[in-house]
Amino acid sequence: MKKLVVGFLFLLLALTVIGCSGGTADTTPAPAVSDTASPAATTQETTAAQSGEKVQVTILGTLKPEIAAQVEAAIATYNAAQDKYEVVSIPLDTNPVEKMTTLYASGNAPTIMGMGQEFAQFQQNLLDLTDAEFSKHALPGTQDPVTVNGRVYGMPLTVEAFGLLYNKSVLDAAVGGGFDPNSMQTRSDLQALMDQINALDGKTALHLSPMDWSLGAHVTNLLFAPQSAERDERLQFMEDLKAGNVALMDNEVFTGWADTFDLLKEYNVNAASPLSADYDQGALALGSGEVGLWFMGNWAFPQLSEIGPDTEFGILPYPIGDDPTTYGNTQISIGVPFYMVIDASQSTPEEQQGAIDFLNWLVTDATGQDYYINQFKFIPVFDTFTTRPTDSMSQQILNYLENGRSLEWMNSLYPPDGWPTMGVSMQKYLTNTIDRAGLAEEFTDYWQGVDK
């Protein structure tokens, strides 16, 4: 009997292995939606589509979690506007890279995804978008990071900026009259401003968010981007760090950057327990005018304007020194947060077509553009847009961009574990678990361990 069991087990094992390999060998194109659909199911799906039923196109998440409701509304409008495709959003409740990896591994890759620095890893699974309508209208330079051998594999979604967001009403009261963002040139200016806010009754200078992505990706960008105005030199700095040739404690930018961070730590409204705060508390604190400044990006604007509909919000640079002419003191970090890409390995051609159609609709159709500008509060990166953003913060960022006062998003060049690891070090520094030398050491250790 025992022999029988063993024999049977092996038979089963052999059968399933054959079955599995047979199934995965012809996964192109495999269905993206259904759980374990076999090739037979795909054909059914396609024929159903031809007979007038809508093709389901999946999109991972809602472009940005902050505008989930607005994006859902746009998707609903798109679905109602035509009868070929049905766009469906897959809930994204975790780190997008984690989610995409697991979905790909299980053969359920979504058709439309947003990708940042993980692009290179997924690139061979992505659809060539060079001939898509939106690719022809993207502003020059915005497609560079997703161009491989002259072919474009992603659609830039928008540009975003991060820095010290401010509540104009609070700053007006603090400086006694109209606050001029251009008056902020150095760290001393910032400190003086924060003192003035603290002097106000019931106001605190700053809310500092402790999330690892904010500290690890955005705050650290201000250590890398201002290293040099020349892109090659900045990249060289990163390479030197990997090679172990940089003594961070002797690096002028590091010192200036850390001095400013110390200042932010000191004026932080949550200084007693810096890790307690979460993102929503930050939005609430700045939106309601409880604090004057918040280190965040313009993606928070839709929430801020919901909390303070009549308040004007703006953005200030994160100064790294006391000389106004130093590169980085009067610039803000502006970049494409991520690219919309389309899966080519697990989605059907119909689904891919639907995905392109939806993205085209968003940036070329009048209704789509209206959602893009007025609901999502995106800053357009396509020449198809005739309308300009109407809110103060987006206009300010466009001004920074047009005047060449922008810093590169070096954080898009970090390896996948870059911001989580540096974020952890930053949290330790924020809570005084390690000192500045410890921070420099953890950064150096991390970069030296990166696969070259």
Partner 1 sequence: MYTEKGLLDKLKSFATFSFIPLFAFVTVLLIPFLVGFLLTFTDWNGIAAISSLDYNWVGLKNYSVAFADKDFWTALLLTFKYVILVVVFTNIIAFAIALLVTSKLSGRNFFRSIFFVPNLIGGVVLGFIWVFIFSRFVEYIGDITNLAAFQHSWLVDPDKAFIALVIVSVWQLSGYMMLIYIAGLVGIPNDIIEASSIDGASPWQRLRHIVMPLMIPAFTISLFLTLRNSFMAFDVNLALTGGGPFRSTELVTLHIYNEAFRFQNYGDGQAKAVILFVIVATIAIIQVLATNRLERT
Is 420 among the residues that bind partner 1 (CB under 8 A)?
yes
DSSP one-letter code for 272: T
Query: In angstroms, what is the minimal distance from the CB of 304 to partner 1?
Result: 23
Task: Work out which of 58, 62, 108, 125 binds partner 1, going by CB under 8 A.
Answer: 125
Q: CA–CA separation, 55 vs 82, rounded Å?
A: 11
Binding segment for partner 1 among 114-122, 155-163, 166-174, 228-236 (CB under 8 A)?
Answer: 114-122
Query: In angstroms, what is the minimal distance from the CB of 136 to partner 1?
Result: 29
- By rule CB under 8 A, what string of x and - marks binding of each residue 254-273 to partner 1? ------------------xx
Query: Of the two residues 368 and 423, which places its CB atom closer to partner 1 in the complex?
Result: 423
Q: CA–CA separation, 247 vs 254, rounded Å?
A: 10
Is 275 among the residues that bind partner 1 (CB under 8 A)?
yes
Query: In angstroms, what is the minimal distance from the CB of 261 to partner 1?
Result: 16
Q: CA–CA separation, 120 vs 143, rounded Å?
A: 14
Q: CA–CA separation, 401 vs 391, rounded Å?
A: 16
Q: CA–CA separation, 241 vs 450, rounded Å?
A: 10
For the record, the structure tokens of 187 come out as 């760290």
Q: CA–CA separation, 341 vs 152, rounded Å?
A: 10
Determine contact, residues 352/342, Cβ cutoff 8 Å: yes
Is 1 among the residues that bind partner 1 (CB under 8 A)?
yes
Query: Of the two residues 12 and 247, which places its CB atom closer to partner 1 in the complex?
Result: 12
DSSP one-letter code for 373: I
Query: Of the two residues 4 and 366, which places its CB atom closer to partner 1 in the complex?
Result: 4
Task: Work out which of 104, 213, 279, 327 binds partner 1, going by CB under 8 A.
Answer: 104
Is 433 among the residues that bind partner 1 (CB under 8 A)?
yes
Strands (E), 15-84: 55-60
Task: Work out which of 98, 233, 280, 323 binds partner 1, going by CB under 8 A.
Answer: 98
Is 416 among the residues that bind partner 1 (CB under 8 A)?
yes
Q: What is the CA radius of gyration of the chain?
A: 25
Task: Work out which of 182, 276, 325, 386 binds partner 1, going by CB under 8 A.
Answer: 276
Q: CA–CA separation, 244 vs 345, rounded Å?
A: 39
- In three-state secondary structure terms, 366 is helix
CB atoms within 10 A of CB 119: 19
Helix or strand holding residue 429 (H, E): helix 418-430
Can you name the residues that pair with 161 across neighbouring β-strands? Answer: 334
Task: Work out which of 88, 97, 139, 200 binds partner 1, going by CB under 8 A.
Answer: 97
Query: Of the two residues 100 and 334, which places its CB atom closer to partner 1 in the complex?
Result: 100
Rule CB under 8 A: which residues touch partner 1?
A: 1, 4-5, 8-9, 12-13, 16-17, 20-21, 24-25, 27, 95, 97-98, 100-102, 104-105, 107, 118, 121-122, 124-125, 272-276, 345, 416-417, 420-421, 424-425, 427-428, 431, 433
